[in-house]
Amino acid sequence: MFLADGPLTARFNEGEQLVSNGTATDGRLANSKPASARLIFAVPIGLGLSLSCFAAVAQTNLSAELERTAVEAIDHQRGAVSAVEEALIKEQVLHVVDKYYEYAATGQAERIPAETHLIPWIILSRDEVYDDAEETAARYAERRRTGPANWSKSTYNARNVCVLSDSSAITSGYNVRTTTDGDILSVEGVAYILMKTRDGWRIAAFSGTTPQKVIRCEDEH
What mean pLDDT comes out for the span 81-95? Answer: 96
**In a shared domain, residues 71 and 104:** no
Domain count, the chain: 2
In this prediction the pTM is: 0.64
How high is the pLDDT of residue 68? 72
Pair 127, 70 in one domain:
no
**HSE toward the beta carbon, residue 178, CA cutoff 13 A:** 12
Which residues have a Cβ under 8 Å from the Cβ of 189 and sit 6 or more positions away? Answer: 172, 173, 174, 175, 208, 209, 210, 211, 212, 213, 214
Note the maximum CA span of the chain: 116
Same domain, 193 and 125: yes
The answer to whether position 69 is within a domain reads: yes
Mean pLDDT comparison of 39-43, 53-57, 209-213, highest-scoring range: 209-213
Question: What is the mean predicted confidence (pLDDT) over 125-132?
Answer: 93
Q: Domain containing 65: what range?
A: 9-75
Residues 6+ apart with CB under 8 A from 169: 89, 90, 93, 161, 162, 163, 193, 194, 201
Q: What is the DSSP string of 132-193?
A: SHHHHHHHHHHHHHHS-TTEEEEEEEEEEEEEEETTEEEEEEEEEEEETT--EEEEEEEEEE
Question: Is residue 3, in this structure, part of any structural domain at all?
Answer: no
Whether residues 128 and 183 share a domain: the answer is yes
